[in-house]
Amino acid sequence: MSVPSVEVWTDPERQDLEERVAAAELAWLTLDVDVATLRVEIDNFALAHHQLLGPLYAELDELDALIAESVAALSGDPEDLRRAREARERVEPPQERGPREGEPEARRVRPDRDAQRVYRELARRAHPDLTTDPAEQERRSAFIARVNEAYALADTEGLERLAEEWSSSPDSAPAADSPDRLGWLRQRLEWLTGRITALAVERVRLERTPMGELLLLRPEEPERLLEDLAEQLLATAADRQARLAALLPDNGGNEPSHAPQETPPMFAQLPTADAASVPADAALLDVREQDEWDAGHVDGALHIPIGQVVARLDELPEGRLYVLCRVGGRSAQVVQYLVAGGRDAVNVDGGMFAWEAAGRPMVSGGGQEPFVL
């Protein structure tokens, strides 16, 4: 009985190339998945940023314009008038402010491990650059476009169907015992090196975009990052409201002043109540996120996450409004903003933790035992 030849595996150059190509292919596929995933997450973060914080930025632009116009009206200085015109030009028309009626809620899409595995395998087998034939490149490009779309939607089942569809396609690599194998390995290594470099450049480019830099501040908790940004914007808006109130004639007189004006909105103490003293029939606003609300909330409270408060001001009931969050920080920012706008709002000190500790009733979103998340 003849013994199979092992000559092809004893060539040092061939063996080295096989190992280097295998290592480079693993690095390429890993980086390809990482970059595709980062692109998906940045796109989704940008959508959420626009929907949740867009109205807050628009509100700040409007307040800046009103302040500039008030300063110009008081001083009559041509430079102040120019600044007022420029500030007004920066204000977006209301119809351009998001979120819009009927616009779907932003949701975070993160492809799972199965989706990444199938995506990696399809990229390895079906990438257009694996062939030099123009017609085959076009066919592969169209197929990979469908793969990228499914991956962007985290559609694992769709990716599995695409993998089955491609399963009958021929492999372009020469067989292990083919005399063309050595030349193919050299070309493959050169191609992989180029792809890895291109992907590394693309990753750096994505990370340096404005949304990429923001997302990387807290990549595992983008929703919490948006929440923190909303708190900062609400605080800034409250300061702008106070400054505007100080400039208006009925708050600061008709004569311009070079000194800061001490008006009630600027120095009024934040209205606060402890959880035990909140009336049973009080109007409550809960500004926590959806997962916190689902875990446990006050039955009958109005739920508007902090990042949506400004855009949904018309939903707030008339009269005194008690504002809740988890421990009282976010609700304090909302109360500060509402009070500066002339609303009767009270911060519930200690938030839902204090509410629970006081033995006040709570319900959950799914019927389970309620708790404060």
Q: Which residues are catalytic?
A: 325
361 CB neighbour count, 10 Å cutoff: 11
Q: Which residues are CB-neighbours of 97 under 8 A, at least 6 positions away? A: 54, 55, 58, 311
Tokens of 91: 């204000």
Contact at 8 Å (CB) between 276 and 312?
no
Structure tokens at 191: 């191609």
Give the Cα separation of 331 and 143 in Å (integer). Answer: 50
Q: Please give the C-alpha separations between residue 317 and each of 191, 282, 321, 344, in angstroms, as whole numbers.
A: 63, 11, 8, 10
Burial letters for 202-226: b for 16+ Cβ neighbours within 10 Å, e otherwise?
bbeebeeeebbebbeeeeeebbebb
Contact 84, 262 (CB under 8 A): no
Residue 175 CB neighbour total at 10 angstroms: 9
